Amino acid sequence: MLDYAHLKALSVVIAEGGFERAAKALFITQSAVSQRIKTLEERVGQTLVIRSNPVQATPMGKRLLRHYAQVSLLESELSAEIDADDPSLPTVVKIAVNADSLATWFLPALAELFKRHRWLLELVVDDESYTHHLLKSGEAVGCVTTTEAPLAGCSSEYLGQMEYLCVATQDFIQEYFADGVTPSRLRQAPAVVFSTKDKLHEKFLGEHFGIEPEQWREHQIPSSESFLEAILLGMGYGLVGHLQAEPLLQSGALKLIAPDCTMKVPLYWQHWNIKAKQTTLVYRALAATAKQALR
């Protein structure tokens, strides 16, 4: 049997990024933290942490973190049932989600559920093509992802599609695309992209216009709200999810620059295969809202 005090020490060391900060969080000495990690490493016969700055988990360390997170979720559910009226024992549900979903349909889908059960939500925001890595490492119990194939020990449920529309202000279109949208014009016009992780714009230009990577100019703005604001301010053109784009198109604030060229991104809910009430109810809530909001 694994000692869960030792597993908790491992979890806190990784979360805090170091032994000293973990000791403060656990209210024990740094040497006590080190001893717990050492004992755990001797128990499994492998190194569990890479002593870098910040500290990182080895592949075996990540497996143990995932196991500990699963057990913690089940224990929190059991504690909530035993001590239903004790507010000092809240259930924390950790979910990874992409920024566009978070900015539009995700929180409305879960708000009533979390209020009703008095759960606490802990979100990790990342690109939708990377969120499943957070599930794999144990940093989340579920994730909204573009990855259809379920990870080992997980289930994958289809939610729907987010359709991305290529938009800009009328003034921007007049300046850069007065004669039409062509590959040469797209190479010169500044684009607004979310981050280097986000390959959606790259796929859009490659699939629809045959433009190779790094053959265009771009602003990188890793915030869904500020990304949209930059486009509205005329800094560039960009791909905006239909939930955000359509009201702005209807009001005239933005215009389509390539009406026949859209990108449809399928979204899935992946979660651990454990009998936890939280993951089941979260999926039902997400699915119900996604059916209305997504394509």
**For the residues of 191-259, what is the DSSP string, one character each?**
EEES-TT--HHHHHHHHHH-PPTT-S-EEE---HHHHHHHHHTTS-BEEEEHHHHHHHHHHTSSEES-T
| Helix or strand holding residue 136 (H, E) | helix 131-137
**Can you tell me whether residue 126 is helix, strand or coil?**
coil
Digit-coded pLDDT (tens) for 40-78: 888 878 788 888 778 888 888 887 877 777 777 666 665
**Can you tell me whether residue 90 is helix, strand or coil?**
coil
- Predicted confidence at residue 266, as pLDDT, reads 93
Partners of 123 in the beta sheet? Answer: 95
What residue segments make up the domains of the chain, in order of their start? 1-89, 90-294
Enter the pTM of the model. Answer: 0.70
Q: In 3-state terms, the chain is what percent helix, strand and coil (to 5)?
A: 50, 20, 30
1-89: what fold? Answer: Arc Repressor Mutant, subunit A (1.10.10)
Eight-class DSSP state of 190: P
- Predicted confidence at residue 168, as pLDDT, reads 96
Digit-coded pLDDT (tens) for 211-227: 988 889 999 998 888 99
Partners of 240 in the beta sheet? Answer: 165
90-294: what fold? Answer: D-Maltodextrin-Binding Protein; domain 2 (3.40.190)
Digit-coded pLDDT (tens) for 236-278: 999 999 999 999 999 999 999 988 899 999 999 988 876 667 8
Split at pLDDT 50, 70, 90, the class of 89 is low
Give dist(CA 86, CA 27) in Å, integer.
Answer: 24
Q: Which two tokens stand for residue 152?
A: 């080992």
Digit-coded pLDDT (tens) for 160-187: 999 999 999 999 999 999 989 999 999 9
Give dist(CA 295, CA 201) in Å, integer.
Answer: 20
